[in-house]
C-alpha cells in the first residue's frame, strides 16, 4: 500500500500530520485512517518513525495521544486554555519516550529503546510540545476548508493563512469559487 495515497503527509508539522490521520473532522462523517495496527505501522513508517511491531492493543493508545494533541491544538487555535488532561497526556507521552536520533554520516534515523512504540509516540508528543510552547511561535490555526478543521501553523507574513494545505483544501476552495462564477 502506498502511504501517500492512504494518508495526508503534506503538513510541515509532524504532530499535525499525525492529527490528520482523521480527515474531514468537521464534517458529519469524519474518516478514521488508523483502522488497525497495520495502518498505524504504515503511517509511522511513512513519517520516518517505523517501529518493529504494533498490536491491536497499541492502536487505542496511539489514537488517544493523537486526539489529545488535536484538542490542545484546537484549543490554542481558538485562543482557549487546553484541557489539563490533554496537556498531561501529551507531556506524559513525551516524558515516556526514550528515542534518540542518530546520524550515520549520510542519513538520520531514530534509535528506539526497549519500547519502540512508546518512543515513537514520545517523538510525536515532543514535536507537538515544541510547536505549542515555542515562545516565538506562529499561531496554530484550524483549517477553514469545508469539513476539514485540520491543524496548521500560520507562518505567513500577514498571519492570514486559511487552509491547512494549498494543495488540498485551498485548491478545493479556489475551484468552488470559480465554479460559482
Q: Residues 73-100: pLDDT tens digits?
A: 999 999 999 999 999 999 999 999 999 9
Are 54 and 44 a contacting pair, CB within 8 Å?
yes
pLDDT in tens for each of the 181 residues of the chain? 565 577 989 899 999 999 999 999 999 999 999 999 999 999 999 999 999 999 999 999 999 999 999 999 999 999 999 999 999 999 999 999 999 999 989 999 999 999 999 999 999 999 999 999 987 878 999 999 888 999 999 988 888 888 888 777 866 767 666 677 7
Domain definitions of the chain by residue range:
3-180
Residue with cell 484541557: 83
Q: How many of the other CB atoms lie within 10 Å of CB of 32?
A: 10
The CATH-assigned architecture of domain 3-180 is Orthogonal Bundle (1.10)
Residues 6+ apart with CB under 8 A from 135: none
Amino acid at each position: 500500500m502506498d502511504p501517500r495515497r492512504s494518508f495526508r503527509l503534506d503538513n510541515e508539522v509532524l504532530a499535525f500530520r499525525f492529527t490528520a490521520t482523521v480527515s474531514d473532522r468537521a464534517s458529519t462523517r469524519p474518516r478514521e485512517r488508523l483502522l488497525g495496527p497495520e495502518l498505524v505501522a504504515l503511517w509511522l513508517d511513512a513519517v520516518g518513525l517505523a517501529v518493529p511491531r504494533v498490536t491491536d492493543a497499541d492502536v487505542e493508545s496511539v489514537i488517544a495521544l493523537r486526539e489529545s494533541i488535536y484538542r490542545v491544538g484546537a484549543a490554542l487555535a481558538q485562543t482557549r486554555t487546553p484541557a489539563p488532561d490533554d496537556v498531561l497526556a501529551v507531556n506524559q507521552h513525551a516524558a515516556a519516550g526514550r528515542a534518540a536520533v542518530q546520524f550515520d554520516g549520510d542519513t538520520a534515523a531514530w534509535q528506539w529503546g526497549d519500547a519502540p512504540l512508546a518512543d515513537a509516540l514520545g517523538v510525536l508528543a515532543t514535536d507537538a510540545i515544541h510547536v505549542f510552547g515555542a515562545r516565538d511561535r506562529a499561531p496554530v490555526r484550524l483549517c477553514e476548508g469545508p469539513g476539514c478543521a485540520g491543524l496548521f501553523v500560520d507562518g505567513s507574513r500577514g498571519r492570514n493563512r486559511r487552509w491547512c494545505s494549498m494543495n488540498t483544501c485551498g485548491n478545493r476552495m479556489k475551484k468552488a469559487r470559480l465554479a460559482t462564477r
